[in-house]
Each structure stands twice: as structure tokens, then as C-alpha cells.
Amino acid sequence: MKVRCGSYNVFYVFLLFTFMFGGCATVKPSALNQNVKEGNKKYSFKVDGEYRDIENEYNEYLISFQLPPGKYKLRELFAQSGIFPVRGTFSIPIYSTFEIEANKIIYLGHIEAYVKKRTRDDELRAGLVIPLIDQAVIDASDGTFVIEINDLFQNDIELFKKQYHYLSDYNIENRTLPPWKKPSKEDMQ
């Protein structure tokens, strides 16, 4: 997965998931860098350092996950923005399901998420309201996301192979998630 974060509140996500027998801890390390342990059914993952820094605009991150076989819902992606002492948090609401088999490496797509002004109460906030000042300064509390999920398999996989050379020895399946739609209250459960 590749995430873009920056002053313009633009997020790009390239999703690459590795699925093998294994588990998780509360916060799991990046799958392509370390092994993981069995744990809870709700998974959180740590993001490695930035892949590319586009100064004063955004950072890009390649993110991978390792999970045991099964059915999953990719609920939210979280990101932070700001400079100390003002730092806020965004919540990108994906809420898309997928299934994985053992010993597979799969690609789930390229996600672009842009923050825009929230104009209606039925639009999901880009982040929490509290802390009031921090969330307002980064436009998380009064913004909402425009989200696109695209199939950029060839380009994105080349980025991963450039960063993780050993991936060239593996077959990676393209399982791009369906186009994003605003999740219902039921989806968010």
C-alpha cells in the first residue's frame, strides 16, 4: 500500500497484501519487512518510513500487511498531518471486504483520498472533532474525503519490486477492490 500525506491533505494508497499462515498483534509490523504473531481479530498495522517525499506537498508510503487466510473488511486508514504543536488525525473510511487464501500475495488497488470542505451533515468527517484546534487546522473536523480506488497494478507492483527486490521471485495477483462508495451505517459495523 502506498500512502501520500501532506499539506494539501491528499492521500494515495497502493494496497499490497501478503497472505500466509500467520497472525497479528495489536499493531503489526509491515509484512514485507518482518514476521508477525497471532492475536486479535481486529488488526492494526504500522507504516514504515516514507517511500518518497514530495516537499511541501505530500509523502508517499508503500504499505504491506500479512494476515491469515479468511474474509476481511478493510475499515479505515489513519493518517496524521500538521507540525508540532498542532497535529491532527484523519480517518479514511474504506469499508470494503475481500477474501484471501493461504500463501498468496495479492494487490488490492491504488487509493486516492482528497479532503474537501464538508457541506452536508450526511457526509462523513475526515477525522474526529476533538482536539478542536488541531482537527480544525488540518481540516479533518470540517472536511470530508473524496475517495477513488483504482487498478494501477502494473505501475504499483513495479514500485514494490523496486523497493523489495525479492518480490520479483513471486507471483502477485491483482484483486483490486471495487470502486469506493460511501459506507452505510451497517457497513461501518
188 part of a folded domain: no
With 80 as the cut, is the pLDDT of residue 48 above it? Answer: no
- Number of domains making up the chain: 1
Neighbours of 19 (CB within 10 A): 23
* The pLDDT value given to residue 29: 55
184 part of a folded domain: no
CB 167 within 8 A of CB 179: no
186 part of a folded domain: no
* The pLDDT value given to residue 37: 60
**What is the rounded average pLDDT of the residues 116-140?**
84
With 90 as the cut, is the pLDDT of residue 178 above it? Answer: yes
Find the domain containing 56 and state its range. Answer: 2-174
**Among residues 179, 146, 172, which one has the least CA distance to residue 64?**
172
pLDDT band at 153 (very low <50, low <70, confident <90, very high): very high
